[in-house]
Amino acid sequence: MKANSFSSVFGTVVGAAMLVTALATPQVSRGAPPGPLYAQLSSSLSQKASLTGALVSMDSNDALSGLDHDDKGKGSDVTVKTDGVYFMVAAIQVGKEKGDADDYIDVWMKQNGKDVDNSGCRQMIKDPKFTTVLVCQGIAECKAGDKFNVVISSNSADSGVGIVKIAPKGEPAIPSIIFSIYKIN
């Protein structure tokens, strides 16, 4: 009887351990690649903002897994391949070429060609020597095939307001944009 009780208890403990392990192990949805889904993209191009909004091009796939982006074609589309909830951040290095007016640059995201509600950010730029990083971020529920873009606009077409790539001597380049996206669920 003691052996039978031991096997019963042992079987229950092993079964419980297997259940806890199964619940704690992330489940991969059908069709999703194994491992995390993410991208970090950047651009070595300075790009001018337009009055109505210009899509930002990115020419470097610094890290890419489970999403699509055409860096060779300097693409602006980031395509989700797996349904889920994604966190994304667009960090742009802003500046302007000339003038001392109170110009501004806006940045926001588009999902499938439509502006994402409440995703806009603005930075005033008075001096051409001034640069700073403007960050736009959000969380989005996505379906496979959804496309995301980063958009920039300005109130001035004449002062060269936009995003700038900077190449400091002896340091890594400062891209005009760093865009990151990560599947959180």
Q: Give the separation between CA 109 and CA 152, rounded to whole angstroms.
A: 9
pLDDT at 34: 74
pLDDT at 38: 98
Instruction: Answer yes or no: are the C-beta atoms of 62 and 41 closer than 8 Å.
Output: yes
- In the chain, which stretches have pLDDT less than 50? 1, 6-29
Q: Is 57 part of a structural domain of the chain?
A: yes
Q: How many domains does the chain have?
A: 1
Count of Cβ atoms closer than 10 Å to residue 61 Cβ: 17
Q: Is 179 part of a structural domain of the chain?
A: yes
pLDDT at 27: 44
Per residue in 92-112, pLDDT (tens digit) is 999 999 999 999 999 999 999
**Cα angle: 126, vertex 130, 96; to 5 degrees:** 65
181, β-bridge pairs:
39, 88
Tell which phi-psi region holds residue 5, choosing left (phi > 0), alpha (psi between -120 and 50) or beta: alpha
Q: Is 12 part of a structural domain of the chain?
A: no
Q: Give the separation between CA 49 and CA 38, rounded to whole angstroms.
A: 27
Residue 52, domain extent: 31-183
CATH number at residue 94: 2.60.120.40
Q: Is 119 part of a structural domain of the chain?
A: yes
Q: Is 112 part of a structural domain of the chain?
A: yes
Q: Is 7 part of a structural domain of the chain?
A: no
Q: Is 138 part of a structural domain of the chain?
A: yes
Instruction: Answer yes or no: are the C-beta atoms of 49 and 152 closer than 8 Å.
Output: yes
Per residue in 52-82, pLDDT (tens digit) is 999 999 999 999 999 999 999 999 999 999 9
Q: What is the pTM of this model?
A: 0.81
pLDDT at 31: 58
